[in-house]
Amino acid sequence: MTVLLAGDIGGTKTILRLVISDQPEARKVPLLTTLYEKTYASGDFPDLVPMVRRFMAEAKGQLGEVPAPEKACFGIAGPVVNNTSKLTNLSWHLLDAEKLQKELHIPQVKLINDFVAVGYGVLGLSPNDLHTLKPGQPDPDAPIAIIGAGTGLGEGYVIPCGGGYRVFGAEGGHADFAPRSPLEVELMDYLKEQGDLERVSVERVVSGMGIENIYQFLRDRQYAAESPTLTAVFTIWKQEIGREEKSVDLAATISRHAQENSDYLCQATMELFASAYGAEAGNLALKLLPNGGLYVAGGIAAKNLSLMQQGEFLQAFSAKGRVSSVLEKVPVHIVLNTHVGLIGAAICAAQL
């Protein structure tokens, strides 16, 4: 058994988890047992080191004598280069794994991007952590694909390798948006004009920002009448563009009204969003042939489960013309566990 420290580090909050890892020979993925977990406000600390030191002291207070972690892995909301990272939305100094090893007295420390952590995390999920949209014909030796719309659009893939797994991030969210209908062509042209853009990335359509963009497009196009409630929220949202502090969440408001079937314009927005999301997931699946499964992570899918079940997502996923049959074997799952990145950090640490 090995004692591990796992972390999910974000600009607003950081979750730390102390874990025991046990890996029987017959398993590719370790068995993880949580000893202690705590969430901290990231901005309350000048750096990660004092946060971890407090965490270990609190764990000792709860558990008694605590074994020192032998390995640690931290998933970070920002780019990771050569095991170092500068968080995008947090004023900490540069995180350096080698420095963390010395200051925390942990022999091995690894930093990974938060979406790479999600890639590792899907390996450790139970059936209760997933909602299966399409069972397919899973192949445990085939690649796994991950896609996740949230603030942006993350993509990645997992490859079985030497009795374990290797996880790779990708920048597919910044690939070109490929419109499939006259309405989506209009949407692309609208986004180009509004943003003075030469090209439109798929992230501008499939993300929280994308929900806002689609709604604004349909609203301005007068696709349907806007309700007074949404007019008020939209007006405030428009006024607050560019500000750090926001008093309204337009995407969440649109999503909620769509789920309640209380606003036709919101419903049309989310249906177009789900279709574009499914189409991009299908594009990723064509490139990777992930018969090990395609996992839809990110907060939007889990919070809009009824929308994802309605059919637009899977219909667009499978509508690939003469090669549609290629995707029949690909299982499609929605990740429901919000701690998937923390699970992934622990799995990655176990593989060090």
In this predicted structure, the answer to whether residue 26 has a pLDDT above a threshold of 70 is: no
Give mean pLDDT, residues 286-294: 97
Q: For residue 67, how many other CB atoms are within 10 A of its CB?
A: 12
**Per-residue pLDDT tens for 34-50?**
999 999 999 899 999 99
- The average pLDDT across 201-211 equals 96
pLDDT class for 78, splitting at 50, 70, 90? confident
Percentage of the chain with pLDDT > 90?
A: 83
Q: Is the predicted pLDDT of residue 181 greater than 70, yes or no? A: yes
Considering the chain, what percentage of its residues have pLDDT values greater than 70?
99
The pLDDT assigned to 18 comes to: 96
Query: How high does pLDDT run on average in the chain?
Result: 93
Report how far apart, in Å, the C-alpha atoms of 188 and of each of 194, 205, 282, 317 are. 10, 9, 19, 20
CA gap 273, 269 in Å, rounded: 6
CB-CB contact of 158 with 183 (8 Å): no
The confidence score (pLDDT) of residue 25 equals 67
The yes-or-no verdict on residue 23 having pLDDT over 90 is no
Rg (CA), the chain: 21
**CATH numeric code, 2-125+338-350:** 3.30.420.40
pLDDT computed for residue 28 by the predictor: 76
Task: Measure Cα distances from 302 to 81, 167, 208, 246, 306 in Å.
Answer: 30, 22, 13, 23, 9
The model carries a pTM of 0.92
pLDDT at site 262: 93
Tokens, residue 220: 């301005």
Structure tokens at 64: 């008694």
Give me the pLDDT at residue 151, please: 86
Determine how many CB atoms are found less than 10 A away from the CB of residue 127. Answer: 8
Residue 72 φ/ψ, nearest 5 degrees: -145, 150
Q: Is 31 or 175 the better-scoring residue by pLDDT? A: 175
The answer to whether domain 2-125+338-350 and domain 173-335 are alike in fold is no
Cβ count within 10 A of residue 308:
23
Mean pLDDT of 72-94: 87
Structural class in CATH, domain 173-335: alpha beta
Phi and psi angles of residue 123, each rounded to the nearest 5 degrees, phi first: -70, -25
Domain range list for the chain: 2-125+338-350, 173-335
